[in-house]
Amino acid sequence: RREPSQQQTRRSAAHDSAFLRACRREPVPHTPVWFMRQAGRSLPEYRKVREGIPMLDSCMRPELVTEITLQPVRRHGVDAAIFFSDIVVPLKAIGIDLDIKPGVGPVVAEPFRTRADLARLRPLTPEDVPYVTEAVGMLTAELGTTPLIGFAGAPFTLASYLIEGGPSRSYERTKAMIYGDPELWADLVGRLAGITSGFLKVQIEAGASAVQLFDSWAGALAPADYRQFVMPASAKVFDAVAPYGVPRIHFGVGTGELLGLMGEAGADVVGVDWRVPLDEAARRVGPGKALQGNLDPAVLFAPREAVEAKTREVLDAARGLEGHVFNLGHGVMPATDPGALTHLVQYVHEQSRR
């Protein structure tokens, strides 16, 4: 094996966890639960430790990253931790001038427009992100049998921030490049695939037990365009990490029409938002893959009985699945009552105990 034995030993501590078993479509003692954005503003302890520290700075401090990643594990008893970072961290690490603006999201100082901009994207090496290696090492030592999920942004979603210069509703400049200069587009997402693969490899080599590729905004595309312009780059990322043998999760919002293709890109687990019930999602994805999802995060603002009823709907739809990881259909909203999340974890465990 190519990796140091310490990381291997730490990863194997989590090997029989419900989360990793469900990803591998093996029998589980209960349905595992974690939440996208489980670390973050819904937690008062997060707001406290982040006070006065800009988002990107906080991602570069291993002790702080470790503390923030562990907070939802301690508080909610979720079945997996997700590494605290952001999809734009690897871009920042190779020298792209960008920032994360509170309440807005990533903002790129000089958006990508021409072929000359490609030169700004060099490959990412582990030396670019020493703080990630350090934090993952500290985390896996602390987490014991609880798995750590590493993650990265998929080429399309990263490209959309680089081209639009920030968050977008309609992706007009991104689509203008896709349709107007498909060669430049292919070169751009090809380079991003390399950077994303590099970022995932750093996390896996340091001890992450699974990885999630966030193509959050891929739902903006029609299936034929996704297949032609996006899938090859995402497949390149999945292929690059395949030799490690860790489960690969693929998620996007509003991707009901793309679920089959997102699985085909090379995922072991396909993330589903709340717009498609899991039994229907399973038909679209086909056999041989686990599913993750899919309670609407806004449901958590309803009374407890309503949350429980909607949760049972998700579990019922998941009953025939080969593997199910319970999650929200997108990230935890900042105003969510953390108590509702803790109860949801307990409720899913209790309702699914075998």
Phi, psi of 289 (to 5 degrees): -135, 145
Residue among 21, 24, 61, 86 flagged as catalytic:
86
CB of 154 to ligand CP3, least distance (A): 9
37 is catalytic: yes
| Selected binder of ligand CP3 within 22, 100, 136, 210 (CB under 6 A) | 100
86 is catalytic: yes
16 is catalytic: no
Question: Using the rule CB under 6 A, is 275 a contact of ligand CP3?
Answer: no
**Identity of the residue, 106 or 338, whose beta carbon is nearer to ligand CP3 in the bound complex:** 106
User: What is d(CA 90, CA 198) in angstroms, rounded to the nearest whole number?
Assistant: 9
| Selected binder of ligand CP3 within 32, 62, 90, 106 (CB under 6 A) | 106
State how far the alpha carbon of 95 is from the alpha carbons of 155, 195, 237, 336, in Å: 17, 12, 21, 35
Of residues 211-240, which lie at the interface with ligand CP3 (CB under 6 A)?
214, 216
Question: Using the rule CB under 6 A, is 52 a contact of ligand CP3?
Answer: no
2 is catalytic: no
Query: How many residues can be counted in the chain?
Result: 354
Question: Using the rule CB under 6 A, is 296 a contact of ligand CP3?
Answer: no
Question: Using the rule CB under 6 A, is 71 a contact of ligand CP3?
Answer: no
**Which residue do the tokens 């407890």 mark?**
304
Question: Using the rule CB under 6 A, is 66 a contact of ligand CP3?
Answer: no
State how far the alpha carbon of 90 is from the alpha carbons of 3, 93, 105, 155, 279, in Å: 22, 5, 15, 12, 36
Strand 324-328: give its sheet, edge to edge: 81-82, 148-153, 210-214, 248-251, 269-271, 290-295, 324-328
Question: Using the rule CB under 6 A, is 166 a contact of ligand CP3?
Answer: no
Binding-site size, ligand CP3 (CB under 6 A) = 21
Is 37 marked as a binding-site residue?
yes
Choices 8-16, 35-43, 140-148, 203-211 (CB under 6 A): range interacting with ligand CP3: 35-43
Question: Using the rule CB under 6 A, is 55 a contact of ligand CP3?
Answer: yes
User: What is d(CA 330, CA 219) in angstroms, rounded to the nearest whole number?
Assistant: 13
Is 330 marked as a binding-site residue?
yes
Nearest to 165 by CA among 102, 216, 120, 108: 108
Is 117 marked as a binding-site residue?
no
Burial of 343 (0-12, 13-18, 19+ CB in 10 A): middle
Is 180 marked as a binding-site residue?
no
Residue among 41, 113, 227, 275 flagged as catalytic:
41
Residue closest to ligand CP3 (Cβ): 216
Q: Which residues contact 349 (CB under 8 A, 6 or more apart)?
A: 30, 31, 33
User: What is d(CA 343, CA 211) in angstroms, rounded to the nearest whole number?
Assistant: 26
User: What is d(CA 94, CA 91) in angstroms, rounded to the nearest whole number?
Assistant: 5
Is 1 marked as a binding-site residue?
no
Is 226 marked as a binding-site residue?
no
Secondary structure class of 164 (helix, strand, coil): helix
| Selected binder of ligand CP3 within 103, 116, 183, 303 (CB under 6 A) | 103
Is 86 marked as a binding-site residue?
yes
Active-site residues, by number, are 37, 41, 50, 86, 161
Residue list, annotated binding site = 37-41, 86, 161, 216, 330
Binding site feature residues for substrate: 37-41, 86, 161, 216, 330
Q: Interface with ligand CP3 by CB under 6 A: which residues?
A: 36-41, 55, 82, 84, 86-87, 100, 102-106, 151, 214, 216, 331
